[in-house]
Every structure is written in C-alpha cells, then in structure tokens.
Structure 1
Amino acid sequence: MAWLVLAVAGLLEVGWAIGLKYTDGFSKLWPSVATAAAMVASVVLLGWAMRSLPVGSAYAVWTGIGAVGTVALGIVLFGEPATLGRLVCVTLIVAGIIGLKITHA
C-alpha cells in the first residue's frame, strides 16, 4: 500500500510542478490554489509512505516520478524538445525507480 501512496504522491508532484507554469508566478488565483493544494498533498502522502518505506528509496522514487512526469508533460504540453539525450536520461531515471522498487527489502 505504501508504494501505491508513494506513486500518487509522485503524480501530485508532477501536478504541482506543471501547475507552477500555469500560476504565472502565483499571480493567478485558481491555478495557484490548485498548485499549493497539490504541493501539500504530495508531501503529506510522501510522509505517510515513509512510515514504512526507507527514506532514501521513497524520496528517490518520489522525485523520479516527478522528474519523468514533468519532462513528459513539458514535451506534450509546452513543446519542449524530445531529443535523444533527454529521452535517454529519462529512461535512466525510470530504470533507477524500477531498480529501487525491485531491491526494496
């Protein structure tokens, strides 16, 4: 269950990272409110998952999900470049996330 909560926390991290773009420097009310709510929920769920997962693995997986999801949505939503180098790096992050999950004792 902790891994599922951690995955949701990671997805919320993607939400707030992308949400920052829409807040326009926190000058737009509703995008700012949604972004702040996603920030709080993401960290609360991360903390809950860390009650039973190792801190290093949980934090690395949380940030990895956030990084991969944010890069992917940056490509899709904002037309950021999908260069071979970026895609290889994202693949390495995904491999690290899977490795941490597999080797969790």
Structure 2
Amino acid sequence: MAWVYLICAGVLEVVWAFSMKQSEGFTRLWPTVITIFVMIASFALLSISMKSLPLGTAYTIWTGIGAVGAFVVGIAVLGEAANPMRIAAAVLIISGLVLMKLSSS
C-alpha cells in the first residue's frame, strides 16, 4: 500500500506544480488555493509512504514522478519545447526511478 500512496503523492506533486504555474506567482486565488491544498495532500501521502519505505527510495521516487510529470504536462498542456536533450534527460530520470524501485525490492 505504501507504493500506492507514494505514486499518488507523486501525481499530486505534478498537480500542485501545474497549479502553481497557473497561479501566476500566487496572484490568482483559485490556482493558489489548489496549489496549497494539493501540496499538503502530496506531503501527507509521502509521509505515510515513508512509514514503510526507505527515505531515499520514497523521496527519490516522489521527486522523480513530479519532475517527469511536470515535464510532460509542460509539453502537452503548456506547449513547452520537447527537444532531444530534454527528452533524453527525462528518460534518464525514469531509468533512475526504475533502478531505485528495483533496488528496494
């Protein structure tokens, strides 16, 4: 169950990163409220997952999901650049996440 909490926490990290971008520096009310609420939920789920997962594994997976997820949302929703170097960097992050998961089994 800890892995489910961790994955949900990572997805919520993507949501709060996107809503933070939409808040325009915390100048728009609802995106700011969503950012804060989802950020708290993400941290709470991360905390719960850390009860049974090692710190290094949980934190690395959480930040990796957030980083790659934000990268994908940036490209798909915000029209950010998807050049080969950025894609290669995302692939390397995903490779690291897979290795971290395999090493914790």
- Common fold: TM-score over 0.5: yes
What amino acid does structure 2 have at the position aligned with 1:60?
Answer: T
Number of residue-to-residue matches in the alignment: 105
Report the aligned-residue RMSD: 0.8
Q: Residue 42 of structure 1 aligns with which residue?
A: 42
Measure, in 2, the Cα distance between the counterparts of 1:88 and 1:22: 27
What amino acid does structure 1 have at the position aligned with 2:27?
Answer: S
Q: Residue 23 of structure 2 aligns with which residue?
A: 23
Q: Residue 69 of structure 1 aligns with which residue?
A: 69
Q: Which runs of 5+ in 1 are unaligned?
A: none
Cα deviation for residue 45 of structure 1 reads 0.5
When normalised by structure 2's length, the TM-score is 0.97
Cα deviation for residue 79 of structure 1 reads 1.1
| Secondary structure class of the residue paired with 1:31 | helix
What amino acid does structure 2 have at the position aligned with 1:54?
Answer: P
What amino acid does structure 2 have at the position aligned with 1:10?
Answer: G
Q: Residue 103 of structure 2 aligns with which residue?
A: 103
Work out the percentage of aligned pairs sharing the same amino acid: 47
What amino acid does structure 2 have at the position aligned with 1:97?
Answer: L
Cα deviation for residue 23 of structure 1 reads 0.7
Cα deviation for residue 19 of structure 1 reads 0.7
Report runs of 4+ in structure 1 exceeding 3 Å deviation: none
What amino acid does structure 1 have at the position aligned with 2:104?
Answer: H
Measure, in 1, the Cα distance between the counterparts of 2:79 and 2:31: 20
When normalised by structure 1's length, the TM-score is 0.97
